[in-house]
Structure 1
Amino acid sequence: MFPISHKTVIVLDNSYRFLSTSCGQPLDYDVCHKMKGGTPSGIIPLAPLAKSLWTSSVEAIQEYSRIVYDVFPGGERLLSLVTCDEIGFKIAMGWNNEQQNLSNLNACFARSSYNTRSRASSFPMGECFGTDDSTLVNGVKAALEALGTPTVTQTQMRKKSSRVANSGRVMLIAYLKNENQLKMVTEFMGDCLSKYNIAMREKDDPNRLPINECHLTIVNVYPVGDLSPSSQIREIANYYVSPTLSCEIHSSRGGTMFALKLLSLVQSHYHLASTTVTGIPMKEEQNASSSANYDVEIVHPADAHVNLPKIATGAGGGDGSCNRIPKEDTNYETIPLKWCTPRTTSVELHHCSSAYRISPVDVNSRPSSCLTNFLLSGRTVMLEMTKLKGSKVMSHMLSSHNGELYIHTLYTGRSLLEDPPSISEGIGGRITDYRINDFGELMKRIKLSPIKPSLISVEKTISPIDRAIGFLTRQTLYWPIVLGHSIMFNLQLHIAPLINLIPKDSLSVEDVNECKNAIYQIVKMESKGTSLVLPCVANRGKGPKKEELYKLLWKELDHYIEIHASTPQHKEILSTLRDLHVTATSDTNQVVKNEPMSPDRANSPNGDKPATSSVIIPPLQVPSSSSSMPTFTSNIKDEALMAWKELDSYNNMTEREKRELDEKNKPPAKRLRIPDIQSPSDSNSSVSLADGRINGTAMDAKMANGSTSNQNLLSLWVNQLNLKYRKRPDFEGRAFKIAPLYINLNQPIE
């Protein structure tokens, strides 16, 4: 419940050496030479001053504490101040909620200044650099004593439970001499922590708590331009000294660099992030008629940036990175968000997912002050970020509530109050022929429900969950997601019983008859030449031929029944299908329509079709257990796969390629040319015009009876055209012949 950031003890060196050492960064406070007319004559310019390490550290700690109090008010995160020197230590500020404010912190610094003590001259000037070891030892002891003191919240929880977690952080700020002194501090801290916890286990003190986990942050601050071993101390990332003590080392120059160091530390200690509001229009102080754009950096919890990588990549992929800019002279990054037109209404608040408190980094600057006053007046500022593709999106909003500033994260996707998105907007792209209704029916069939214990049989070895998984597997053995990938599922109006009954584990006699009737229905449709209406198979241009579609349909039905043929009833249906449409004996280079053998055709001597065009379906027989099933072996799966590949390649062709392919496979013209009866090559096989007129009646009777050899639909059609047009000579320029016009045009005029 209590993280390490719940309690932070700031230990500050208050020795003479630390207070008297200059930070090395000059501060020019003489304003006379900055005047427009220059420095007046007779006035000697004042030399610049430099702050001490104590003063620069106090200012940096004030900014550190201000950010903590702004982002975590109400005692969520507590700070304690400890000052130490060669003589002892002093806990200037405790854990009481009344003391957690900047006014009390400044008062503690004022009481801890060196000028308020009576031993101001106890140490001579010009003594060696660095903090004494005794000062650091006193600071470590004071830090452990402060961490062991329970807070108000811990005291209340201790009344309910005897064991309360107690963790905290110690931040030691001093002017260290070298790395040996640094090593001494970490080892002494680990020894003192272990001894303290042992003492707490031996006695039960109601005013003390054992320390479960402690994080030590040592910040070495040295003057600018210092070349002593103190400036050579290396920064070390987080490492463990003992199971209960972790440590990190930081080193920084004094002055403004130390303030930036604590700014980066407060973000890592409290899981904060930086956002820079860019493009804020503000009027110039000197010229009110003109305006310029300024930037303001704010700090807030890092959770406000959780969705930024998704927004930057559009939630559809990418490397998950967003526009992060490293801050100069720091080790953290900031995310720029552009200022948008302010909104006077709060309608956007309904689309916010979260809100977090913010704190400006440079609170005393004019841009930060203007932005703060603008928000406190009740205005709202929208912030937009630029995606990796260049587009922009509103991602955050700045507003104030009850005198406190907040950053709101906005919903960049679809609102929860809107209708669900269309399936075409998903990963599959603009595909509109998904089997949505069939998927809904499938969900209803595979819906799980609790089973009563009384229905569970002990003899059955298959558990209900395994039986459910097997049922789901069988229902989805062949289940195309898109209607364009199937022909069978586009004909559910005609073969719905076959599609719904085949996946069943067992079939009754009535089920078998219904499946056979569906197969006979397809045979009847093919014999009548019924076109298969498949709008999803071809997108544009001329689609596949009717014969090819029926060929694919038969192969798909064969595959669908074969993968479900686990019972004799299923195998009987499969045998019926293959008997009616035997693809193994068909010629692969010519499309042949396979029709069922009717009784009239079966009884005819030559096996020709009867005169009528109707299909006579044989009566259904009740299957017997002793009847033998006909076998059929063919490479149907490979042929179906090749046919589907040819269909997909045709759909992927361009319009020009489709036209060239259609011209190549163009059927013969409807109005054919009469064969040249005068051709010598055809003199033996053709009939002359006179003979045709004389024997026309006999020839018509012969074709009507269907007794001519090798007669098919094309030959019957050609013969019928010959009978119609043989009464008059054909036009010479018809049927792809070149007829000369204006024969006498080139002859000379007499």
Structure 2
Amino acid sequence: MVYPHSHKTVLVLDHTAVFSRPSQQMVDFDAVTKSRGIPLQPVGKSLWTCNVEACMEFSRIIYDIFPTDRLISLIASNVHEAECLTGWKTQEQSLQHQMTALGSLPPPDIKEPADTSIMHGLTKAIKMLCEATPKQEELLKTQPDLKNKGRIICLTSFKSLDRIKVLEDATDLAIRSHNQLASSKPNLLPIEHCDLILLHVDPINQHGNITARSAVKISPQLQSELQPTLSGPHIAHKLVELAIQHFDLASTTITGIPMKEEQNASSSANYDVELLHSMEAHTELFKTGGHLDEIVIPSKEGLRIQTICLKWCTPKSISSELQQCHGAYRITPVDVNSRPSSCLTNFLLNGRAVMLEQQRKSGSKVISHMLSCHGGEIYIHVLGMFRSILEDPPSISEGCGGRVTDYRIKDFGELMKESRLAPAADASHLEELPIERAKGQLERMTRHWPMVIGDTIIFNMLSHLDPLPSLIVNESLSEDDVKDCRRAILYLVDLESRNENLPIPNSGTRGKGPKREEQYRQMWRECEKLVRCHANNSPQHAEVLECLLHCKGSTGPPSPKSEVKTENGSKDEENTYDQSMKTLERQMTEREKKDFNTIKKETDSPPVKKIKSEVIPRASAGSPESVLSIWMNKMAAKCSKRHAEFSGRIDSKGSKAELYKNPKPEPM
């Protein structure tokens, strides 16, 4: 059995004079009252104080989420020796014990030489990793081949990269030496693998020349990683990010928490609280996939991570929703000292449960998680968002089609029959595996496959369009297949020329359906969409598309074949088109030629211009009047009898009339 690296973590703190320097992080103690005339000076923290606070935050997160399975050991290293503050014993694995041990240490001695090494602390950390934990001691009784792994996080400062190389080589040598010693002693375990994370800490206003370096394999037993960071809040955020990375944690932000203001108790505002928990609490969210972009946001606590944003719902006093719970995981706030985190924690500890819902742009609400307290510990519960395997399958009427009769169930059965798989013989000599060929066929057959009867026209009249839909999905077409596709297209042209109704079933809706012209327009549009989906399969598919575009009179983009330009430009395109039309005429029967020429004359004739509503021109001599002109003349004659004619227009000569015949001049 192999124990993970996260089971044993050793924190090595540099306790030399280097970390007695100020971190440049100031704390203002004059924030409570402003009545005094002279404000108090802010208090600064040392690098050692910031490192201790960051380690306490790291330990708090691990102990809150993993109270027993993940162990932490603290080591302080100075010039002369390294002191182990906490070991692997159960009574030492608490935040209170660590704070007591760190509080007993004096601050770093300023008088010590600044040029020191952290090697004493790393050697002590290797020795601690060789010691068995209580859990490992129990497993060794039944599993003597237990593999031992661990991780070392060292907070120190380097002056050059050469020091880092020397430190890594010395650590590797210490691992080999302790492994030889552990092989001869039964109470020690050899180190199978160790992760070494070196954190180079600088004051806030100083940026050293140390750059970050990803994990490098030093030896089969050691892997080293270098990460520079600043002191103050930066080192605390860095250790929180390492905890999330090393222990497979995830972040959830609870937004919209109603809370009363401290200054004005009668009003309330909404706050956000970010929580950390096991990554398994987001497993159900990752199954959906499609809505993650709507709920994934950057962390609001200054961490360089992504968090899942869930909205606060009305609290529940009775947790009846636990019946559909898939899992419960411990949580801990990122900022445990903030007022919103404290209020949320106290609210849940009083026995209340809070539902959490996903926020979606569509406006729908999906309750996916719940916060509740059990035995003084707060858990995030993962609720079932999908149907259980014990429930009946969902009704088909709950889908996009609604009623059962609206789905193309029979066509789907035929699709399943055509997509059945059979055992294949030895395919090692084939260029393409049979399973890949089957996937390609299924992909081509479903490029345009409407699920509902009301969403398609051509698949409701397959008897008049065959064999075009079944042939066009093939990977290649023969000359006979191209002829059959052209005949199917010409048959549609013949239907439209005879002005016949399309043989499509009634949609079942009340009122009149779409007009015949609109039905043909939709049919041609869907035919073009189907053929365009497969136009790039082969040159023969492109020929079918060209024939369809000519018969349809499409104004859309040209086919891929017609986009190829030559030196003669449009002349070569016209020659290619004429040649294809001649080939088509040779293959058509006399009846097809007659119908096609009739349609061609109708499509080649110039379109009739729309008559403007302002002026209705009279029909020219010798040409029959239209129904519109006859009706407008009749209505104009009736309207002329219903009003008295303007006297000026009666006496006028020409098209102009005088409005005032005898105007009187105004006196000057």
* TM-score normalised by L of structure 2: 0.62
Kept in 1: contact 2:85–2:101 (CA 8 A):
yes
Flag the 1:643–1:652 CA change in 2: closer, same or farther, 3 A.
Answer: farther
Kept in 2: contact 1:310–1:320 (CA 8 A):
no
| 2:369 aligned with 1:369 | no
Q: CA deviation at 1:405?
A: 0.7
| 2:225 aligned with 1:255 | no
Q: CA deviation at 1:207?
A: 1.2
Q: How many residues align?
A: 477
Q: CA deviation at 1:341?
A: 1.3
User: Residues 372-431 of structure 1, C-alpha deviation per residue, up to 9 Å, x if partnerless?
Assistant: 011111111111222354543222111111111111122223344543113455688874
- SS of 1:232's partner is coil
Which position in structure 1 is the counterpart of 2:263? 286
Q: CA deviation at 1:61?
A: 0.7
Which position in structure 2 is the counterpart of 1:491? none
1:132-147 to 2 correspondence within 5 Å?
A: 132-133=116-117, 136-147=118-129
Q: CA deviation at 1:635?
A: 12
Unaligned runs of 5+ in 1: 449-460, 462-468, 474-479, 486-535, 560-632, 662-750
Q: Kindly provide the amino acid, as one letter, of the partner of residue 332 in structure 1.
A: I
Kept in 1: contact 2:401–2:407 (CA 8 A):
no
| 2:154 aligned with 1:172 | yes
Which position in structure 2 is the counterpart of 1:407? 380
Distance between the aligned counterparts of 1:350 and 1:153, measured in 2? Answer: 33
Q: Kindly provide the amino acid, as one letter, of the partner of residue 434 in structure 1.
A: I
Which position in structure 2 is the counterpart of 1:655? 514
Distance between the aligned counterparts of 1:634 and 1:156, measured in 2? Answer: 74
Which position in structure 1 is the counterpart of 2:36? 39
Flag the 1:437–1:212 CA change in 2: closer, same or farther, 3 A.
Answer: closer
| 2:63 aligned with 1:63 | no
Which position in structure 2 is the counterpart of 1:514? none
Q: Kindly provide the amino acid, as one letter, of the partner of residue 279 in structure 1.
A: G
Flag the 1:284–1:93 CA change in 2: closer, same or farther, 3 A.
Answer: same
1:291-690 to 2 correspondence within 5 Å?
A: 291-311=268-288, 313=290, 322-327=295-300, 329-387=302-360, 389-416=362-389, 418-423=391-396, 431-435=406-410, 650=502, 655-657=514-516
User: Residues 515-563 of structure 1, C-alpha deviation per residue, up to 9 Å, x if partnerless?
Assistant: xxxxxxxxxxxxxxxxxxxxx89999xx98xxx97x999x99xx9xxxx
Q: CA deviation at 1:335?
A: 2.3
Q: Kindly provide the amino acid, as one letter, of the partner of residue 104 in structure 1.
A: H
| 2:95 aligned with 1:102 | yes
Distance between the aligned counterparts of 1:538 and 1:251, measured in 2? Answer: 59
Flag the 1:652–1:83 CA change in 2: closer, same or farther, 3 A.
Answer: farther
Q: CA deviation at 1:11?
A: 0.8
Distance between the aligned counterparts of 2:319 and 2:89, measured in 1? Answer: 37
Distance between the aligned counterparts of 2:483 and 2:387, measured in 1? Answer: 47
Kept in 2: contact 1:311–1:387 (CA 8 A):
no
| 2:133 aligned with 1:151 | yes
Distance between the aligned counterparts of 1:148 and 1:634, measured in 2? Answer: 75
User: Residues 16-57 of structure 1, C-alpha deviation per residue, up to 9 Å, x if partnerless?
Assistant: 332x211111222245xx525x324xxx54432211111111
Q: CA deviation at 1:371?
A: 0.2
- SS of 2:72's partner is strand
Flag the 1:438–1:276 CA change in 2: closer, same or farther, 3 A.
Answer: closer
| 2:70 aligned with 1:77 | yes
Flag the 1:335–1:638 CA change in 2: closer, same or farther, 3 A.
Answer: closer
| 2:205 aligned with 1:211 | no
Distance between the aligned counterparts of 1:263 and 1:651, measured in 2? Answer: 68
Kept in 2: contact 1:167–1:211 (CA 8 A):
yes
- SS of 2:386's partner is coil
- SS of 1:293's partner is strand
Kept in 1: contact 2:465–2:492 (CA 8 A):
no
Q: CA RMSD in A?
A: 4.4
| 2:204 aligned with 1:224 | yes
Structure 1 counterpart of 2:43, from 36, 39, 49: 49
Flag the 1:651–1:417 CA change in 2: closer, same or farther, 3 A.
Answer: farther
| 2:114 aligned with 1:124 | no
| 2:211 aligned with 1:245 | no
Flag the 1:254–1:352 CA change in 2: closer, same or farther, 3 A.
Answer: same
Q: Kindly provide the amino acid, as one letter, of the partner of residue 312 in structure 2.
A: W
Kept in 2: contact 1:552–1:640 (CA 8 A):
no
Q: CA deviation at 1:171?
A: 0.5
Which position in structure 2 is the counterpart of 1:612? none
Distance between the aligned counterparts of 1:372 and 1:105, measured in 2? Answer: 23
Distance between the aligned counterparts of 2:455 and 2:245, measured in 1? Answer: 59
Flag the 1:644–1:399 CA change in 2: closer, same or farther, 3 A.
Answer: farther
Distance between the aligned counterparts of 2:275 and 2:306, measured in 1? Answer: 12
Distance between the aligned counterparts of 1:650 and 1:216, measured in 2? Answer: 75
Q: CA deviation at 1:198?
A: 3.8
Flag the 1:232–1:659 CA change in 2: closer, same or farther, 3 A.
Answer: closer
Kept in 2: contact 1:398–1:406 (CA 8 A):
yes
Q: Kindly provide the amino acid, as one letter, of the partner of residue 364 in structure 1.
A: N
Q: Percent identity?
A: 38
Q: Kindly provide the amino acid, as one letter, of the partner of residue 325 in structure 1.
A: P
Distance between the aligned counterparts of 1:635 and 1:64, measured in 2? Answer: 71
Flag the 1:659–1:406 CA change in 2: closer, same or farther, 3 A.
Answer: closer
1:269-284 to 2 correspondence within 5 Å?
A: 269-284=246-261
Which position in structure 1 is the counterpart of 2:14? 13
Larger Rg: 1
Q: CA deviation at 1:204?
A: 2.7
Q: Kindly provide the amino acid, as one letter, of the partner of residue 277 in structure 2.
A: H
User: Residues 427-463 of structure 1, C-alpha deviation per residue, up to 9 Å, x if partnerless?
Assistant: 8887434149989x99xxx9x9xxxxxxxxxxxx9xx
1:195-206 to 2 correspondence within 5 Å?
A: 195-200=177-182, 203-206=183-186
User: Residues 705-726 of structure 1, C-alpha deviation per residue, up to 9 Å, x if partnerless?
Assistant: xxxxxxxxxxxxxxxxxxxxxx
- SS of 1:358's partner is strand
* TM-score normalised by L of structure 1: 0.56
Q: Which moved more, 1:105-114 or 1:327-336?
A: 327-336
Q: CA deviation at 1:330?
A: 3.2
Q: CA deviation at 1:98?
A: 1.6
